């Protein structure tokens, strides 16, 4: 069928009832057929090899004569009608009972939908779209409301947005997931498939279904971050109304962290949806796991000046600095990690000079605190690149700060470069040293701590971009020392 020929990602989103890695054997000669990824879809069973490049073979439910378990071989046997193009096969998966259950559900569902058009009235009943005050009976044409209108919007969405209607979100979710919507309504706008999920998340009442949606949103968030625009509004709405459900909050915040990474369109959308006010409230819940997720989210959201303005104007900076000064001396992994991430966020804010001056005027001990954190942080357990970034940012407008960082941080940085030989760390450290050399007295100190030996060591690593950076920095340092 035509919809099976879509990309695998589309199949996985809209057609799959079950996915499992199985062994197969040919029942005509009882020889092993091989191992495949078996995908049970709306009307057939597909068998892919590991790379998912193409369908190796498939079985239409219409061709199946019988499905039963064989106690002798422990395989599930599928016998086919005479007109089938495939031989009878045996299938063995992780759990025989689960697999036979999934095959039976798919098989019976297929035949149920093939009965006749009266099934539409049954589906309309189960969807049960009706007004909240129960003044009228349920909508008899609910399926028609799932179609696109002239403006390519789903009509059912307008009713739900009015906040006057209920719908059976459990049935709508599984109608969507089994491929029924995809089979009968070929939406011109692909976002309409996602809008159905968005409506369930925003207006649904079944928390088990919402939990499934939240988990799936998180699973796909790294690979499909550009596909989440239609869902963001519902995610924020869901988060604001279900803040007391910790696991749901963590799912949604983790998803937001993934999808905002290098995605300016989504960042702007979150700011438009007033994410900072919501995060301000969530921090007041005083839950360390939720606060940690919010801090990670703002590493992504504070990389541009206009984003920093929203962060500061909504009061989040004060909350974050309060957390930093409360936790910096506590040697627990999550609290130390939170402090490092907050310093990274402040480093981004320092790109704007007016905020740089404001923070250093009102938080005098910030540099000493950061130096303490760096000196007490284990290189292997934590990402010190974020701290190096902070020191580079805080030193850019002050010679006094440059001098303190050079004397208290650089000797330890040199030692760590020798010990751990981490390319990214070395490159960031060279950027920091380059900033510090803008103050001439630091050049004399760097010569005193034998920085040129370090340069020779880095050159011997024979990594091109490091070699070029060292050459550039070495020439700059020699030129300044000659002038002195």
pLDDT of residue 91: 92
The DSSP secondary structure of 266-295, one letter per residue, reads HHHHHHHTTHHHHHHHHHTT--HHHHHHHH
Question: Which CATH code fits 2-114?
Answer: 2.30.29.30
Mean confidence (pLDDT) of the chain: 87
Query: pLDDT for 307-355, tens place per residue?
Result: 888 899 999 999 999 999 999 999 899 999 999 999 999 999 999 998 9
User: Do 273 and 252 touch, CB atoms closer than 8 A?
Assistant: no
pLDDT of residue 118: 64
Higher-scoring residue by pLDDT: 299, 94: 299
- Asked whether the predicted pLDDT for residue 408 surpasses 80, the reply is yes
Domain ranges of the chain: 2-114, 116-205
Local confidence band at 114 (pLDDT 50, 70, 90 cut-offs): low
Q: Is the dihedral of CA 427, 429, 433, 436 positive or negative?
A: positive
pLDDT of residue 270: 93
Q: Which tokens in the block code for residue 390?
A: 């902070």
Q: Is the dihedral of CA 433, 435, 441, 444 positive or negative?
A: positive
Cα separation, 396 vs 105, in Å, equals 65
Give the bridge partners for 57, in sequence order. Answer: 47
Across 345-374, b (16+ Cβ under 10 Å) vs e yields bbbbbbebeebbeebbeeeeebbebbbebb
Strand boundaries in 386-455, DSSP class E? none
Average pLDDT over residues 286-312: 92
Give the bridge partners for 58, in sequence order. Answer: 46
Query: pLDDT for 413-426, tens place per residue?
Result: 999 999 999 999 99
Percent of the chain with pLDDT over 70: 95
Predicted TM-score (pTM) above 0.85 = no
pLDDT of residue 113: 66
Query: pLDDT for 67-89, tens place per residue?
Result: 888 878 889 999 998 888 888 89
- Asked whether the predicted pLDDT for residue 396 surpasses 50, the reply is yes
Q: Which residue has the tokens 């395989």?
A: 75
- Lowest mean pLDDT segment, chosen from 135-144, 266-275, 304-313, 384-393: 135-144
Q: Which tokens in the block code for residue 437?
A: 């050399």
Average pLDDT over residues 192-209: 89
Average pLDDT over residues 385-389: 97
Give the bridge partners for 19, in sequence order. Answer: 39
- Asked whether the predicted pLDDT for residue 187 surpasses 90, the reply is no
């Amino acid at each position: 069928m035509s919809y099976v020929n879509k990309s695998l990602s589309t199949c996985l989103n809209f057609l799959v009832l079950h996915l499992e890695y199985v062994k197969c054997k040919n029942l005509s000669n009882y020889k092993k057929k091989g191992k495949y990824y078996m995908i049970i879809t709306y009307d057939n069973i597909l068998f892919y090899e590991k790379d998912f490049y193409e369908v190796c073979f498939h079985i239409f439910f219409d061709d199946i004569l019988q499905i039963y378990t064989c106690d002798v071989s422990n395989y599930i046997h599928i016998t086919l009608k005479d007109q089938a193009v495939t031989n009878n096969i045996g299938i063995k998966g992780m759990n025989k009972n689960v697999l036979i259950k999934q095959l039976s559900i798919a098989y019976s569902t297929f035949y149920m939908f093939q009965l006749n058009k009266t099934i539409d009235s049954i589906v309309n009943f189960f969807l049960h779209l009706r007004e909240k005050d129960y003044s009228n009976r349920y909508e008899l044409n609910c399926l028609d409301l799932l179609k696109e209108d002239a403006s390519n919007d789903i009509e059912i969405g307008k009713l739900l947005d009015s906040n006057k209607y209920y719908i059976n979100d459990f049935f709508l979710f599984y109608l969507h997931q089994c491929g029924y919507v995809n089979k009968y309504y070929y939406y011109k706008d692909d976002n309409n498939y996602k809008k159905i999920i968005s409506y369930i998340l925003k207006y649904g009442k079944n928390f088990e279904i919402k939990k499934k949606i939240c988990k799936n949103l998180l699973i796909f968030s790294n690979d499909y971050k550009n596909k989440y625009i239609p869902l963001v509004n519902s995610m924020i709405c869901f988060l604001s109304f279900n803040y007391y459900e910790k696991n749901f909050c963590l799912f949604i915040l983790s998803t937001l962290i993934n999808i905002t990474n290098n995605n300016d369109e989504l960042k702007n959308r979150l700011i438009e949806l007033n994410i900072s006010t919501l995060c301000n409230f969530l921090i007041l819940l005083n839950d360390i796991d939720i606060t940690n997720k919010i801090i990670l989210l703002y590493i992504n959201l504070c990389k541009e000046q206009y984003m920093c303005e929203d962060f500061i104007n909504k009061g989040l900076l004060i909350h974050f600095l309060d957390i930093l000064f409360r936790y910096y001396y506590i040697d627990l992994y999550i609290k130390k990690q939170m402090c490092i991430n907050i310093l990274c966020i402040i480093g981004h804010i320092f790109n704007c000079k007016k905020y740089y001056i404001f923070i250093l005027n009102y938080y005098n001990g910030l540099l000493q605190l950061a130096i303490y954190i760096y000196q007490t942080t284990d290189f292997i357990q934590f990402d010190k690149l974020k701290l190096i970034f902070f020191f580079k940012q805080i030193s850019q407008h002050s010679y006094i700060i440059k001098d303190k960082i050079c004397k208290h941080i650089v000797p330890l940085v040199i030692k760590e470069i020798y010990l751990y030989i981490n390319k990214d760390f070395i490159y960031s450290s060279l950027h920091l040293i380059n900033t510090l050399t803008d103050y001439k007295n630091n050049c004399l100190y760097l010569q005193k701590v034998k920085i040129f030996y370090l340069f020779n060591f880095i050159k011997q690593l024979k990594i091109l971009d490091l070699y070029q950076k060292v050459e550039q920095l070495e020439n700059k340092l020699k030129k300044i020392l000659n002038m002195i």
